[in-house]
Every structure is written in C-alpha cells, then in structure tokens.
Chains A and B, each alone.
Chain A
Amino acid sequence: MLEIKNLNVWYGAIHAVHDISMSIARGEIVTLIGANGAGKSSTIRAIAGLVKGAKGQVTWTGKDGRPVQLLGRPPEYMVKLGISLSPEGRRILPQLTVEENLMLGAYIRSDKDGIQADIEYCYRLFPRLKERRGQKGGTLSGGEQQMLAVARALMSHPDLLMLDEPSLGLAPILVEEVFATISEINREGRTILLVEQNAYAALRIARKAYVLETGAITLQGTGAELLENPKVKEAYLGG
C-alpha cells in the first residue's frame, strides 16, 4: 500500500536520508530501526508531508486502488488519504483535555456516532485514558501521554498508522504495555509503520524490518531474522 523509492531528504546542505527504498503491504507491521540521528524520523516525517526538502517517490495506494504520489503534498492531505502520524515526543496539546485531544484527531471526520464509537474504542484500548478523559493533556504522565498520542492518531481512522518512537522516555514496563497494544491494533487489521530506537521491542512485534544507518538502509528482513542477526545483535541489542 506504500511504496518508497529512492527517497532523499535534505535539510539545507545536510543530506539526512540517502536513497531509501522500502515497501509496506496492507496489514503488516513494518519497523524502521536505527540509532539516534540515523534518519528514521526524517523518513516518517517525509511520508507525513512535514518535510519540505524531500525528493524521490512515495506512492500510496489506498482502498480505491488508485496510486497517489505523496511528496509535495501537505500533511492535512495525507490524513485525508488515510495516513496518520503519532509524532515523536507525543506532542499532546497540554491545554486541551484528553477527550478534546481525541476529538482533534477526528477533525477530518463528521460522523458523530462513528467518532463517539471510536473514542469508546480508544478507551477500551487504553482504559487509563478513560479515567482521565476530562483532565488536561499536560497533566498526564509520560506513559499516559504516549497512549493518548497513539489513540489520537487512531481517531482519523487511518489505513496506515505511523508511530514515531512510541517508547521514548517510557519505563520498560510501560514500553511493554504500549507495544502490546500496538500489536493488538495491528491484529485488528490496521497497517503500522513503527519507527523505533528500542530495536528489541520493535523487532519482536514487526513482520518486516529495516535498519537505518546514517541515512541509508543497511539491513532488511523479517523481525525474527533481524533479532537473530549478529550485526543487529551487536549494534542494537547489546551483544
């Protein structure tokens, strides 16, 4: 459903992403792992339409089967196509309540009943959010904010859910909880692109994985293959 060919990202003179090619099929969890600064976020942000200096081909094929070129389109267009990004650092709106943050995620929709049903769905996925529904986003703990960021990204009812570092700054037990929910969301049929520094957690749930180093893909394979790969073990899994 998403086909990336020779994607390059520049920030001024800095060449952050070199000729990346990857593909995501419907229903998969695909992960992009790599160290800090490897270009993971740049890649996912380019797909979401947030990067101005992106070149190459990013082709989206939605449910109607019609291929669309994504580069050069604004982020709001991607959301309407069915691509949603939960950004790095959660970016919860601190002055809005939990429920308002979720409503904002559903901005492009106007089916009131559907939105309400999806809010309930999000509360089932993350019961903690339901307890805090009337609280301001800024008062949530880091883990709760991450749950809210994922839930908010789900509210546009995306075909492709992109998650940028959902484990960032979370205690190990919370990482496990968030990742369990991510697999659950995938089992219900949603395609997921997961960008992670926490390679172990990401590879365990991913079907397909790419390793990014200094802006280029150096390894790819199934999650299980990469977990066993000696290079990956040494570089990302602590030997």
Chain B
Amino acid sequence: MNFSMFLQHFTNALGLGSMYGLIAIGYTMVYGILRLINFAHGDIFMLGAYFVFFATIQYKIPWALGLVIAVLGATACGLLVDRIAYRPLRDAPRISALISAIGVSFFIENASIVAFTGVPRNVIQPKLLMEPFALGTVRLIPLSLMVPVISFVLAAGLLWVIYRTKQGLAMRSISHDIETTRLMGVSVDKTIALTFAIGSALAAVAGIMWALRYPKVEPLMGMMPGFKAFIAAVFGGVGSVAGAMLGGLSLGFIEIMSVAFFPKLSGYRDAFAFVLLIVILLVKPTGLLGEKLEDKI
C-alpha cells in the first residue's frame, strides 16, 4: 500500500469514525443520566436521513432548509420517544425502561417500513460536495472532509455546553444525584428532555451525512451504525462525551484499516466491532475515559 492510498483510507476512517462518534454521544449522554440504553437512538439517525431525503429530493426544498427541517424533525421524534416511552417509567425498575426502549426501536423501524416502504431509495448528492480535488497526491471530495469537520465542531460545541453553561452543569449533576440536583431548583424532566434533544439532533446530523456518503436510505439503516456507535460509547467510557468521540474514531479506524491491510478479512468487517465490545467488557469495562459508575441510591 502506498502513502496516498493510506491517506485515502485514513480519510475514510476519519469520516466513518466521526459519524460513529456523533451517534455514540447520544447513547453516552442518555446512559450517563438515566442508566438507560436508548435502543431507539439508531432509528432517530435513520429518521434524520429519511427526513432529509424527503425534504430535498422528494419535495425539492433547498438543501440548507431541508437540513434544518430534517434535524428539527428527528429531534422532535427523539423528544417524543422520551416523553411517551421513557418518562412514564422514570420511577419503574430500570429493566422496564430498557424493554420499552427495545419496543420503541422495533416500532419505529416497522412503522418506517410501512410509511416509507422497505425499498432503499437513492440519495442524489449535491454536486458541490462531490467535485473531486487534489490534496497533494490524494484526490478527495469535499464531502469526505466535511464529515469529520462538522462532527468535531459539533462535539466541541457540546463539550462547551456541558462544561461552560448552567444547563451543562445540571446535566453533569443529574447524572450523579437526581434528588440533590432537584433541590437546587433544576427541573429533571426538562434537563433530560434537553439531553434527548441534543443526542437526537447529533444523530440526525450523522444520519444525514451517512445518507450523503453512502447515498441511499432504508428503514433499517440505523441498526448497524446504532449498534456500533453503542459499542463506541462503551469503548470510550459510558458517560463521557469525549470518550464517545474517541471510541467512534477508534472503531472507524479499526474497521477501515483492518479491511485495508487485510482485504481477505473484509467479510468480517462488522464482526470487529463486536469482538472489540467483548474485549473491552472483559479487560476494561469502564472504557477508555469512563469513570466508575456507581449504582444509583
């Protein structure tokens, strides 16, 4: 493999990994606060992709506006999932919410098959994003640079919110002690809703970029990226936003590079992620940047 080929793979890995990272942030934030694996998260990712498809390709709304509509639409769906499927179970045993999450995920997937049909649809990419240009010896399209840049900017913005704003302080506090946080005047439901909104918006952005990069949408497209992003969240350390990004990137690099260097293994591409999950759970269950999660009192 020559250097420019390596750079090509590197860019691919960076793009894929940063999308995993964006999705993983939603898992990690919700888990950090509610100790709930939001199985429907991958489906919000899918909805974001579908919404942008319908808005821009079906209804010919300009891209800029279509993006906003898709992100807002998917965010609203994420909030709705919390409101209907999780909030009534806040005081119930955690396993109830988990089962509810699995149910919601199946519901969204099947409802999407009914509503959108199961047939994959092609996404027509805006020309602007596809015009190849040369960077040294590597030929790139703007899209493959945009994906990691947008992902990192969003992740950095989120870190700023979490560490520099009042709402971020409330989120960090709720994840450790809900009752005390309420005593400080924080509305737990609103803060949790904000968490779902942020996670869903990021998943929608990832879904849109995914639909542009692998130019099609289908109702089950959120499953595999969702599982992998979940693994990325565990790998990076559940509860840590930086960890989610790091985990996503690691996963992207493992996936792309193993196939690049050992093309014979390409059939096992998806298996690498799950092997990684098993290894991390055996060796370092708290993940790369995670703190030890004590059970809630």
Contact = CB atoms under 8 A, between A and B. Distances in A.
A105 interface: yes
A43 to B, nearest CB: 16
A80 B172 contact: no
B70 interface: no
B270 interface: no
A103 B166 contact: yes
A69 B186 CA distance: 20
Interface residues of A, number: 23
A93 B169 CA distance: 11
Contact of A100 (B169, B177, B183, B187): B169
Interface string A165-181: 00000000000000000
A79 B183 contact: yes
B171 to A, nearest CB: 11
Contacts of B291: 95
A105 B169 CA distance: 11
Nearest to A79: B185
Given A91-B177, A91-B180, A96 B185 contact: no
A22 interface: no
Given A107-B186, A156-B185, A87 B180 contact: yes
A189 interface: no
B185 A76 contact: yes
Interface in B161-187: 166, 169-170, 172-173, 176-177, 179-187
Contact of A107 (B172, B177, B179, B184): B184
Nearest to B182: A75
A104 B170 contact: yes
A68 interface: no
Nearest to A52: B91
A100 B179 CA distance: 17
- Residue of B169, B179, B181, B183 ringed by the most chain A CB atoms within 10 A: B183
Question: From DSSP, what is the main secondary structure of chain B's interface residues?
Answer: helix
Interface string A86-116: 0100010111100010011101100000000
B242 to A, nearest CB: 14
A116 B181 CA distance: 20
Contacts of A103: 166, 169
Contacts of B176: 93-95
Contact of A93 (B166, B173, B182, B185): B173
Contacts of B187: 74, 76
Nearest to A101: B173
A201 interface: no
A227 to B, nearest CB: 31
A20 interface: no
A108 B185 CA distance: 6
Nearest to A74: B182
Contacts of B185: 75-76, 79-80, 107-108, 156
A58 to B, nearest CB: 16
B173 A104 contact: yes
Nearest to B91: A52
A96 B168 CA distance: 12
Nearest to B188: A76
A152 interface: yes
Interface in A124-160: 152, 156
Contacts of A105: 184
A192 interface: no
Nearest to A108: B185
Nearest to A75: B182
A85 interface: yes
Given A75-B185, A76-B182, A93-B173, 10 more contacts: A50-B179, A75-B183, A79-B183, A93-B176, A95-B172, A96-B173, A104-B181, A107-B166, A107-B186, A108-B185
19 contacts: A50-B182, A74-B182, A75-B185, A76-B185, A76-B186, A79-B185, A85-B183, A91-B179, A93-B181, A94-B176, A96-B169, A104-B181, A104-B184, A105-B184, A107-B184, A108-B184, A108-B185, A152-B184, A156-B184
Interface of B: 166, 169-170, 172-173, 176-177, 179-187, 291
6 smallest CB-CB distances across A and B, nearest first, come from A79-B185, A108-B185, A91-B180, A75-B182, A76-B185, A107-B184
